[in-house]
Chain A
Amino acid sequence: MIKEGIGLGTMFYGTGYGNGFPDVSKAEAVLRADGKVAVHTGATEVGQGAKTAMTQIACEVLGLKVNDIILISEDTSNMPDSGTAAASRQTYNTGNAVKKTCEDLREKIKEEAKLKLNLNTDVGLKLKDGYVYVETLPEKSIALKDLAKDKSLKIKGSFTAQTTEMDPETGQGAPYWPYTFGACAVKVSVDTLTGEVNVLKAVFTQDVGRAINPSLVEGQMDGGFSMALGYALLEDINVDNGKIKNDSFTNYLIPTSLDMIDIDNILIEDPENTAPYGAKGVGEPVMIPVTPAILNAIYDAVKVRITEIPVTPSRVLKELNKSKK
């Protein structure tokens, strides 16, 4: 018999290393002789979209197009350290470093423009599409490449997240800054004859502070959901006496495209005031509420609480049988 159920999972999660651990990102921004800006920073791209997000932040600050930003990352001889692509921290932490450094470069560019344009002040100067100009008199302008003709302008900057250690006695404190929030609701069907569980529908909300790139955030949400679906229903390393039995993708099963469903993703935007344009990390958070939601939905469907993952057909039938006795 096919039984259906609905389950919810919620979570909150701290961005970054936390707990007083030094969480530092560095960046360098250089206005080159060709008028393009090189941003050197150690934000490693692991498919999450770090390169896109860093480039977008630099573009936004400097009024430049994507092609006018040269992002240099993953080359340790040519970039400062920005910590690991881990702890959901790159967009928040390194994003802040890139933003701050590019803002300093922008001020330096305005100073140089003031001199070159014989102005009294840099107040009211704007940067757009490779030019600096007086906002009330746009013809008073100079191209960035003319500013950098004789000497390149270079700025170094860094950002350190505010994290404090928890009280080792009580475990109390505020170990992270910022936190992000999420919730997921899923509908599943459970076949009580074979123990098969199917995820049918999902609505997934993620607080992102501000989405630097909404498509990438949705991609993260799809990816996190899929990983959590595998975690809930499929993935098992099967350790036996210290030896991993499922040591290849033949028996360590991850979801295929047929196991994945279309998710109704909803981004919640509530900008964080210490974050670059308000953006918080979502890399890890997007996996967290999904597995509990699936397990709760299974409970709702068959009124049997399964406490071990993955929830394979074998476990479902075992628990259903136990509950009958």
Chain B
Amino acid sequence: MNLEVYNPKSTVEVLDLLNKYKRDAKLIAGGTDLVLDLREKKIKPKAIIDISNLDELKYIKKDNNYIEIGASTTFTDIEKSEILTDNLKGLKKAAREVGSPQIRNRGTIGGNICNASPAADIVPPLLSLDATVVIKSKDNKREVSLEKIFLNKGKIDIKEDEMVLSVKFKNTKGKLGFYKLGLRKALAISKIATAIYIEKEDNICKEIRIGNGALGRHGLRERKVEDYLINKEINEAIIEASATLLSEEIEKRLKGRSSLEFKKEAVKGTFKKAFKDAL
């Protein structure tokens, strides 16, 4: 196998290479997913383009309107960021519960999205933040809602000559909660991950967005439950009723799966925990 490895110095160079190699090229940032696929010969690219040293893709910045995170920003960077304030602790928590310290030091937010695993840990909180993905090719730049980018398990709507530059979301005052249910305390793949963003006024739910992971082919928003909760007063009975509604949704979605029995019960737990985390 003839494999070229490139170390471009800028995204312009990266995009030129992508334009040249198209589907025969793979981008490597942290490599925590890609290297496994290479080892197991699941993929056989002709070129690997290393973007791990591109500082222009590593940042977390904030202005009055948006918070933007560069694609090569690692989970460790997110976990330790001072720009991400306390109301966004759900995002930091999701980053902190990824894999192990070694994986968090290498793995990136862009990689986690592009790998499109149903259990991608950073996706549910970003869905709850209604994040937008900034995508660039040699000649074009576009922005797509994260929710719309997933096509299937492992499949994402990014063309072969495109790369993710960043993820951004509105800089708002609401709170983001998160709960991951894994089988152990580290190095655990999510069984369920739930993220909930809430803005409230006088205990009335003015804005709510619920993102779930590992409960479908990819991360999903739970619109039905959101619609139910909007403009309602937040109390135990409402939380309980929402959890039941969510469980019914999951039951429909996972019908026929062996994991259904467990997940339709456990999701009530992750929902309640993430909800309380967001209050």
A193 at the interface (CB under 8 A from B): yes
A258 at the interface (CB under 8 A from B): yes
CA distance in complex: A255, B184 (Å): 7
A142 at the interface (CB under 8 A from B): no
Task: Kindly identify, within residues 144 to 200 of chain B, every residue whose CB is under 8 Å from any CB belonging to chain A.
Answer: 181, 183-188, 191
Task: Kindly identify, within residues 181 to 222 of chain A, every residue whose CB is under 8 Å from any CB belonging to chain B.
Answer: 191, 193-196
CA distance in complex: A196, B261 (Å): 16
CA distance in complex: A259, B261 (Å): 26
Residues of A within 8 Å of B262, CB to CB, are: 195, 313-314, 317-318
* Contact partner, A258, options B186, B269, B270, B272, Cβ 8 Å: B186
B35 at the interface (CB under 8 A from A): no
Residues of B within 8 Å of A258, CB to CB, are: 184-186
Residues of A within 8 Å of B183, CB to CB, are: 234, 253, 312-313
Task: Kindly identify, within residues 222 to 275 of chain A, every residue whose CB is under 8 Å from any CB belonging to chain B.
Answer: 233-234, 253, 255-259
Answer whether A194 and B185 are a contact pair too, CB < 8 Å, given A313-B191, A318-B261.
no
Q: Which residue of A lies closest to B192 (CB)?
A: A194
B265 at the interface (CB under 8 A from A): yes
CA distance in complex: A312, B261 (Å): 13
Number of A-B contacts (CB under 8 A): 51
A170 at the interface (CB under 8 A from B): no
Residues of A within 8 Å of B272, CB to CB, are: 193
* Contact partner, A194, options B181, B259, B261, Cβ 8 Å: B181
B62 at the interface (CB under 8 A from A): no
CB of B211 to closest CB in A, whole Å: 18
* Contact partner, A193, options B184, B185, B187, B268, Cβ 8 Å: B268
Residues of B within 8 Å of A259, CB to CB, are: 184-186
Residues of B within 8 Å of A321, CB to CB, are: 265
Residues of A within 8 Å of B268, CB to CB, are: 193
CB of B121 to closest CB in A, whole Å: 16
CA distance in complex: A157, B261 (Å): 63
A313–B181 touching, CB < 8 Å:
yes
Residues of B within 8 Å of A193, CB to CB, are: 266, 268-269, 272-273
CA distance in complex: A312, B266 (Å): 12
CB of A113 to closest CB in B, whole Å: 59
CA distance in complex: A12, B64 (Å): 68
Q: Which residue of A lies closest to B267 (CB)?
A: A194
Residues of B within 8 Å of A313, CB to CB, are: 181, 183, 191, 262, 266
Q: Which residue of B lies closest to A230 (CB)?
A: B184
Over the window 252-275 of chain B, the binary record of Cβ atoms lying under 8 Å from chain A Cβ atoms (1 yes, 0 no) is: 000000010110011011101100
Answer whether A191 and B269 are a contact pair too, CB < 8 Å, given A255-B184, A256-B187.
yes
CA distance in complex: A258, B187 (Å): 10
CA distance in complex: A204, B231 (Å): 53
Residues of A within 8 Å of B186, CB to CB, are: 256-259
CA distance in complex: A273, B200 (Å): 73
Q: Which residue of A lies closest to B270 (CB)?
A: A194
CB of A144 to closest CB in B, whole Å: 51
Task: Kindly identify, within residues 192 to 234 of chain B, every residue whose CB is under 8 Å from any CB belonging to chain A.
Answer: none
CA distance in complex: A156, B261 (Å): 65
B184–A194 touching, CB < 8 Å:
no
Residues of B within 8 Å of A255, CB to CB, are: 184
A234–B181 touching, CB < 8 Å:
no
CB of B75 to closest CB in A, whole Å: 16
Quick one: which of A194, A196, A259 has the most chain B CB within 10 A? A194
A195–B184 touching, CB < 8 Å:
no
CB of A226 to closest CB in B, whole Å: 12
Residues of A within 8 Å of B261, CB to CB, are: 314, 318
CA distance in complex: A313, B184 (Å): 10
B188–A194 touching, CB < 8 Å:
no
Over the window 49-70 of chain B, the binary record of Cβ atoms lying under 8 Å from chain A Cβ atoms (1 yes, 0 no) is: 0000000000000000000000
CB of A268 to closest CB in B, whole Å: 31
A195–B266 touching, CB < 8 Å:
yes
CA distance in complex: A195, B273 (Å): 13
CB-defined A-B contacts under 8 Å, sample of 10 = A195-B265, A253-B184, A255-B184, A256-B100, A256-B186, A258-B184, A259-B184, A313-B266, A314-B266, A317-B262
Q: Which 4 residue pairs across A and B have the least CB separation, nearest first?
A: A193-B269, A194-B269, A258-B185, A314-B262
Please name 18 further chain A to chain B contacts, defined as beta carbons within 8 Å, in addition to the given A193-B269, A256-B187, sorted by A numbering: A191-B269, A195-B262, A195-B269, A233-B184, A234-B183, A253-B183, A256-B100, A257-B186, A258-B185, A259-B185, A312-B183, A313-B262, A313-B266, A314-B262, A314-B266, A318-B261, A318-B262, A321-B265
